[in-house]
Amino acid sequence: MAFWASAAEAVTWTRAPRQILDDSRPPFYRWYPDAELNTCANALDRHVADGRAAQPALIWDSPVSGSQRIYTYGELLDETARFAGVLRSLGVHRGDRVVIYLPMIPEALIAMLACARIGAVHSVVFGGFAPHELAARIDDARPAVVVSASCGIEPSRVVQYKPMLDAALDASEHPPQHCVIVQRDRHRCELVPGRDLDWHQLIATAEPVAAVPVAATDPLYVLYTSGTTGRPKGIVRDNGGHAVALAWSMRHVFDVEPGDVFWAASDVGWVVGHSYIVYGPLLVGATTVMYEGKPVGTPDPGAFWRVIAEHGVKILLTAPTAIRAIRKEDPEGSCLAKYDTSALTTLFLAGERLDPDTYHWASDKLNVPVVDHWWQTETGWPIAANPMGIERLPFKAGSPTVPMPGYDVHILHPSGSRCAPGEQGAICLRLPLPPGTLPTLWDDDARYEASYLCEHPGYYLTGDGGYLDEDGYLFVLGRIDDVINVAGHRFSTGAIEAVLATHPAVAECAVIGVADEIKGQVPRGFVVLQAGASAEGVAGELVALVRAEIGAVACVRDVDVVAALPKTRSGKILRKAMRGIAHGTDEPIPSTIEDPAVLHALRPILAP
């Protein structure tokens, strides 16, 4: 408790905590139960009061629209306080929900902070989600207001948001009374009289409002997990523990100080965007970068390096998928050579398994430490990482290094007994979880227990499998259901993918288990090749490579070269959907899929 009492001193409280942890009702633990604060005031007001009003707080870089905008802390505070006034004028009060359905524009960040300012609970839905998925989230959150935009902009098209919003509201059982719409220059939409209101018109005449103190245990936001079916699963994040954990992680995991430029190349619709585009950097007085573009195609594989060079980015946090996409298009790093990226000190990667080949490519080309770290939507900040702001530990390829404070990581057998060092099992976290992690699910304590806590009483089940080595380093091998049983031998598909990724022609890969009459299951590989690489002979070489590295018992006989792998918009490969097709089940296409055509193209190859 002393550790988290000390960490809480980095936060400005309107009522400081006297009790650090309330453990009176396990498994529902609450941090700082008697304290009060305001998250928006911690992110903005206190920095302005400390003389940082003229420092850039937000850099918006949008190659898809050809726009850039910089907000100082003073300007961002003014805009946020005014939009908080807009929400208040529309009847939004402490505890009310606001659904935010926006592209990567500054108004998304402002709307989130404005909700926090008045104690409202925001629920960000990834911009461009289909009407059915948006309607399900609206019905679960029951918002007082929805904030949206006329359109989102992709490299090759304009995505009209308003028709999708209208369809979602028509299908919803609990539509809000008002929608606030950001009209973008690229496409302006028709507003529904009496319901739809223009963002810019409202904010021009709005009265700014002060930050409202809320309980540390009050919810800050609800974020629905991707790929849900039926009723969505809303991850709850509280105010107090969230602020403490993110402030600690920014300084001690990411080594970020006030005035540093930090860029999380993600989306505000995902947890990375919540934690490390919006809240984390601003809580410590850093400058955050919001990027409306892609790693390639806006306009070329040098897009990320341009942003780093132009804005002096010190830390880049992105997904391995992004680096693999850049490497695929520019394996020699020719585009990187065009830019001065000397401001960059560290590259952090998370969201997908970091294969050793991608790790080494990024490390060699950028000549900076590449830090793999692992966490989940549910935890909100890293479970395991290399704490660059404390001590740079020796790197081990394939490992996100060691558990961070508060995460008591254990590897368990199905029986609940602990695995020995090096022995694979389910990665579980002993309760209580640290501050900043989910205290429950939105309006559903029973589902929280059933989903995470019942498998191993006293532990949170992460759903991932892996092992701890003799040095205490954690190795995450993939989802538990990505472990396959080949004639009684258990193999992680992630371990096989790591071998495939070492082939110089392979840009990215996926391995799934498919049914086999004799062995029960066998692995099947799918690879995307580097730009310009020839497919001739590659499949045979990959089969031989797995045999040499893992052994013939792995039974890898089929490796298909494909044009692309199906992914979510956040870059995760849809292995579950691929398995469903391979097993002949009627697997629904997840709402988070980036390009459904990629999955459809694989159906003839995957079909049993």
Find the CATH number of the domain harbouring 600. Answer: 3.30.300.30
187-215 in b/e form (b: 16+ CB < 10 A) is bebeeeeeebbebeebbeebebbebbbbb
Evaluate whether 379 touches 403 at the Cβ level (below 8 Å): no
Domain finish residue from 437, 465, 493: 465
Measure the CA–CA gap between 62 and 155, rounded to whole angstroms.
11
Q: Strands of 74-120 (E only): list them.
A: 97-101
Which of 270, 267, 269, 272 is CA-nearest to residue 249? Answer: 272
**Domain annotation covers residue 362:** no
Query: Residue 486 above 90 pLDDT?
Result: no
Range in 3-7, 74-78, 506-510 with the lowest mean pLDDT: 506-510
Asked if 487 and 456 sit in the same domain, the reply is: no
| Element at 493 (helix H, strand E) | helix 493-500
Asked if 457 and 490 sit in the same domain, the reply is: no
* pLDDT, greater one: 508 or 592: 508
* pLDDT, greater one: 574 or 81: 81
Evaluate whether 65 touches 153 at the Cβ level (below 8 Å): yes
Asked if 147 and 11 sit in the same domain, the reply is: yes
pLDDT value at position 115?
98
Evaluate whether 222 touches 141 at the Cβ level (below 8 Å): yes
pLDDT value at position 229?
43
Asked if 485 and 422 sit in the same domain, the reply is: no
Query: Residue 59 above 70 pLDDT?
Result: yes
Evaluate whether 20 touches 68 at the Cβ level (below 8 Å): no
Asked if 498 and 416 sit in the same domain, the reply is: no
* Mean pLDDT value across the chain: 92
Residue in this structure with the two tokens 């592209």, named with its chain if needed: 103
Domain finish residue from 465, 496, 521: 465
**Domain annotation covers residue 361:** no
Domain finish residue from 431, 465, 499: 465
How many CB atoms within 10 Å of residue 392? 14
Residue in this structure with the two tokens 């897009």, named with its chain if needed: 303
**Domain annotation covers residue 151:** yes
Quick check: bond before 131 cis, omega within 30?
A: no
Asked if 183 and 254 sit in the same domain, the reply is: yes
Which of 258, 284, 259, 274 is CA-nearest to residue 317? Answer: 274
Q: Is the dihedral of CA 115, 116, 121, 124 positive or negative?
A: positive
**Domain annotation covers residue 310:** no
How many CB atoms within 10 Å of residue 86? 25
Asked if 488 and 551 sit in the same domain, the reply is: yes
The band of 228, judged by pLDDT with boundaries at 50, 70 and 90, is very low
pLDDT value at position 488?
52
Asked if 76 and 143 sit in the same domain, the reply is: yes
**Domain annotation covers residue 161:** yes
What DSSP designation does 323 have? H
Domains identified in the chain, total number? 2
The band of 497, judged by pLDDT with boundaries at 50, 70 and 90, is confident
Asked if 20 and 107 sit in the same domain, the reply is: yes
Which of 332-340's residues contact partners 24+ apart within 8 Å by CB, and which partners? 333/365, 335/300, 335/301, 335/302, 335/305, 336/302, 336/305, 336/365, 336/366, 338/302, 338/305, 339/302, 339/305, 339/306, 339/308, 339/309, 340/309
Range in 156-170, 281-295, 374-388, 559-573 with the lowest mean pLDDT: 559-573
Biggest CA-to-CA distance, the chain: 72
Asked if 591 and 450 sit in the same domain, the reply is: no
**Domain annotation covers residue 348:** no
pLDDT value at position 423?
94
pLDDT value at position 33?
98
Measure the CA–CA gap between 564 and 321, rounded to whole angstroms.
12
Measure the CA–CA gap between 435 and 216, rounded to whole angstroms.
11
**CATH code where residue 431 lies:** 3.40.50.12780
| % of residues, the chain, pLDDT over 70 | 94
**Domain annotation covers residue 549:** yes
Asked if 449 and 540 sit in the same domain, the reply is: no
Asked if 55 and 116 sit in the same domain, the reply is: yes
Measure the CA–CA gap between 113 and 344, rounded to whole angstroms.
28
What is the extent of the structural domain holding 189?
Answer: 2-293+373-465
**Domain annotation covers residue 476:** no
